[in-house]
Chains A and B, each alone.
Chain A
Amino acid sequence: MTLKDKYAIVGIGYTPQGTVSDRTTLDFHLEACADAIADAGLKREDIDGLVCYRHFPPAPGEGDVTPYLVAQHLGLEPAYLAQDAN
């Protein structure tokens, strides 16, 4: 069976962008995620999957951001947790 039109995007999360100093990569992930959940009209506990999009090396002095770390900070224990490669 085809996947055509079977799945839908239901919420988008934004953050301030451009030159936004004193914020870490993890910060931006968390704000974008929280904003997307609110935008979709969902509750945090509805989220049972988390994929971090492919990413660049962290800034000097910051640890690498893993999907597990993002989930932990959001207070989620998703059934599906992955780092995307594309």
Chain B
Amino acid sequence: MVLHKLKRLFSRLGAGCINKIWRLGAGARLFGLTLISSGESFRRFRLTIREVYFTGVMSLIIILVSAFFVGMVLALQGYHTLQKYGSSEAIGVLVALALVRELGPVVTALLFAGRAGTAITAEIGLMKATEQLSAMEMMAVSPIARVIAPRFWAGVIAMPVLATLFSMVGILGGYLVAVPLIGVDAGAFWSQMQANVDWEYDILNGVFKSLVFGVACTMIALFEGYDAPPTAEGVSRATTRTVVTSSLAVLGLDFILTSFMIAV
């Protein structure tokens, strides 16, 4: 009896592993197909612009408001610790480096996965459930070129823009707390920041990170939608999986990218 249960446990574990690897392969294949058939999303750039509107512009409010608060909290917390060491002028460096290097790209990607990724998954899942994708194929319109690729490129374009805005607005929030509220000298705030934030190593690396996160988040959302079982439950589960997988992928990729960037 025990042996039987153990056997079942192992077989389920193995099935789960095989399923995960199958999904990884299918996702990679969809990624390749998207890249190959993305010519149309540039030739008819209107399609992509429309999706940039839905994924990027519509996410602006949540991104900007959270950036503002993240920056303000960073300044408050940073000041609290820095003043113990008598270096409260370094608050500008702390806020800028934290935002530009890490929090900007990562928090933007997490919010993007929640705000835009779920919408993409639900939309494509529902398109599949209502057989719109099959209808396109019947009309010899490739759903990957017409539906998937424009959304992919829109995500790739929108993410760095959103992350840059996040960093900038966060720094402004930090400035508002540090200078008018706490009373750190404004000149020291900006000059220390400029002396210690490097254009290439900090800012461009942050933008590159957000570009990678954009590819990962959008691709995961698209794949989960494309792969969702065509039922109400299937779409809802796919939406949940989008958030979970994207968040984990972003945090894991962030570690890998950072370890490369710091080593250089």
Q: Do A and B come from one complex?
A: no
Q: Which residues of B contact A (CB under 8 A)?
A: none
Q: Which residues of A contact B (CB under 8 A)?
A: none
